[in-house]
Amino acid sequence: MTTTIEIQGIDTLMTSIDALQPTAERTIAAKFSALHPNIEQALARGVTQRAIMEALERDGIKLHPVKFKKLLDEARAQRNDSQEGIRCPICGGVQLTPQATEIQLEEGSEK
């Protein structure tokens, strides 16, 4: 009898765990991470960070410039640590990404 009760309790617990959703912050971080190669390519083309943040906001990802910088630095560090880098759309070479600087953020937020 104990086994039946434990199995039923585990089934309920498994259903409860499966129903859990990540916090909005984790969801945004996951989406940002998935978009990171596109964001880097846009930055390499000279698109401002402000324009990127506006595009993200149109699709429901509203970020403060400080949060954008934090997510960008985290995505860059993660890709650099795993030696993934970003593929150059022209030559196909892998480029490791630098940390975002305050100057880049200021330039991107003014335009």
Handedness of CA 28, 65, 99, 39 (dihedral sign): positive
pTM, rounded to two decimals: 0.59
pLDDT at position 89 is 56
Average pLDDT score over residue span 82-108: 54
- Give percent of the chain above pLDDT 70: 65
pLDDT at position 98 is 53
Q: What are 22-64's pLDDT values in tens digits?
A: 787 888 989 999 999 999 999 999 999 999 999 999 988 999 9
Confidence label for 96 from pLDDT (cuts 50, 70 and 90)? low
Confidence label for 92 from pLDDT (cuts 50, 70 and 90)? low
CA distances to 15, 19, 37, 73 from 96, rounded to whole Å, are 41, 38, 11, 12
Q: What is the phi/psi pair of residue 16, to 5°?
A: -60, -45
Alpha-carbon distance 9 to 7, whole Å? 5
pLDDT at position 86 is 57
CA distances to 18, 26, 28, 79, 95 from 108, rounded to whole Å, are 40, 24, 20, 22, 22
